[in-house]
Amino acid sequence: MKTRDLISGDAELWHAATHHSFLDGVCEGDLDPAAFSRWLVQDYHFALALTRAEARYLANAPREDFNVLLQGMEAMVAELAWFEEKAKQGSLELTAPVHPTARAYVDYLQATTYEPYAVQLTALWALERAYLEAWRTALPGAPAYREFVEHWTNQAYAAWLDELEVAANRVLAHGGEAERGAFRWIARYERDFWQMAYAGQDD
Amino acid sequence: MSVTAADLWRRNRDLADACLEHPFVQGIASGELAIERFRVYVAQDAYFLEAFARGYALALARCPDREGLGVLKDLLVGVFEELQLHRGYAERWGISLSPEPLAATSAYCDFLLSTASLEPSGHTVAAMTPCMRLYAFLGQQLAPKLDPESPYREWVETYSSPDVEALASRLEGLLDRYGGDPERLARLYRRAMELELAFFQAAWEAP
């Protein structure tokens, strides 16, 4: 099994995870800024949880994957600082409560930390690949959102993800239902995460 | 009663001095240490650092605050830089960095990983601080008497550098902030210091 087999095996679900009217709105510029801010805050909560989950994956990883996972963690900590800087500049309320949809995703990440390494790496690859592909659909981004779209589709990120994909393909060579299951859960949560932006804070 | 990193270091000065006076450590500064012994040490230390990196990662995964994420990430990067130094030695002296661990190495790795897996971050940090603080101490103590011709000069220069001191201080800062059960912290700190001394002794005896 390869990463591309996971995507082609659940093409519809993958499409839903990587295409959304939210992203179209970012591209066209007609997305409600309040919805964007709500999404951004939830993405920060997710980023905090992902940083910790990646640390658990690193602790579990074979030495050959240390480098790519360390780079991922370094990027996540830099990403957190970037969010916090954005919050200082604008009206972003990073302390807003975690939305139930984000909560479910974060809890799933936590659950993967008890899984074997191959499942963890599959989950990490899937969520990063979904994120990049989704943001690429919003390129170049309406002026108000361009900086964000460029940030989440930058070349260094794409290059790192290619490296992660090599590692994922290595573990998927012996992959089975557990890895496929993780891929599907990630795709579902990614899809729901976009939709969450339209929901109010208290739903 | 809470206990600070400074208290713990003071209480373990006997072991720190024993490490400093150990013929292995003195031989690094004088350059008189037999290369066979240093080769064993480098290989075992590379093995150990892998467990050390995993320990930091586990501490990061469960650290209670945002600041810890940044500090522990930097410490983790520091371990990888240290491994880079080992790769340099390995190339120069033809050392395999995937050795069978000696008993002292296994004991230290197992101690770190069980602590990092089962105990709160403060306790994990207490188990990991001695290594950082001890190496900063050894580097700084050895630097003035370093023989410039010593083939191990780089080792002393690395650990006496301000970067290592800064990392050790940041780790001690986390220890002070997170704390934990004082008796447990003291036990873990002492145990790690004992394992440090045993590590030098094992490299000394091995060849």
Testing the interface with A: which of B47, B50, B52, B54 to mutate, by most A Cβ within 10 A? Answer: B54
Which structure tokens are listed for B8? 């713990």
Average pLDDT over residues A1-29: 97
Can you give the pLDDT of all 207 residues of chain B as single tens digits? 689 999 999 999 999 999 999 999 999 999 999 999 999 999 999 999 999 999 999 999 999 999 999 999 999 999 999 998 898 889 998 898 889 999 999 999 999 999 999 999 999 999 999 999 999 999 999 999 999 999 999 999 999 999 999 999 999 999 999 999 999 999 999 999 999 999 999 999 987
Q: How far B143 CA lies from chain A's nearest CA (Å)?
A: 31
Question: In 10 A of CB A68, how many CB atoms?
Answer: 21
Window 46-105 of B, Cβ < 8 Å to A = 50, 53-55, 57-58, 60-62, 66, 69-70, 72-73, 76-77, 80
Predicted local distance difference test score (pLDDT) of residue A101: 95
Predicted local distance difference test score (pLDDT) of residue B138: 98
Distance from C-alpha of A108 to C-alpha of B134, rounded to nearest angstrom: 40
Predicted local distance difference test score (pLDDT) of residue A98: 94
Q: B61, A80: Cβ pair inside 8 Å?
A: no
Residues of B annotated as catalytic are 131, 196
Predicted local distance difference test score (pLDDT) of residue B207: 74
Distance from C-alpha of A136 to C-alpha of B160, rounded to nearest angstrom: 47
* Domain assignments of chain A as residue spans, ordered by start: 3-199
Q: B69, A77: Cβ pair inside 8 Å?
A: yes
Is the bond preceding B144 in cis, omega lying within 30 degrees of 0?
A: no
Residue in chain A lying closest to B55 (CA): A59
- Which band of pLDDT confidence, cut at 50, 70 and 90, is reported for residue A95? confident
Predicted local distance difference test score (pLDDT) of residue A199: 79
Predicted local distance difference test score (pLDDT) of residue A200: 64
- C-beta separation of B178 from B63 below 8 A: yes
Q: What is the largest CA-CA distance in chain A?
A: 47
Q: A58, B54: Cβ pair inside 8 Å?
A: yes
CATH level 3 topology of A3-199: Heme Oxygenase; Chain A (1.20.910)
Question: In 10 A of CB B88, how many CB atoms?
Answer: 12
Residue A201 pLDDT > 70: no
Percent of chain A topping pLDDT 90 = 91
Predicted local distance difference test score (pLDDT) of residue B98: 86
Average pLDDT over residues A29-46: 94
Q: B61, A113: Cβ pair inside 8 Å?
A: yes
Predicted local distance difference test score (pLDDT) of residue B84: 87
**pTM, to two decimals:** 0.93
Which structure tokens are listed for B184? 């447990």
Burial of A71 (0-12, 13-18, 19+ CB in 10 A): middle
Q: What is the pLDDT of residues A166-185, one digit of tens each?
A: 999 999 999 999 999 999 99
Distance from C-alpha of B123 to C-alpha of B134, rounded to nearest angstrom: 18
Percent of chain A topping pLDDT 70 = 98
Average pLDDT over residues A71-83: 96
Predicted local distance difference test score (pLDDT) of residue A93: 85
C-alpha of B61 from chain center:
21
Residues present in chain A in total: 203
Going by C-beta distance under 8 Å and a sequence separation of 6 or more, which residues neighbour residue B10?
none
Testing the interface with A: which of B56, B63, B76, B80 to mutate, by most A Cβ within 10 A? Answer: B76
Q: A81, B69: Cβ pair inside 8 Å?
A: no
Q: How far B51 CA lies from chain A's nearest CA (Å)?
A: 8
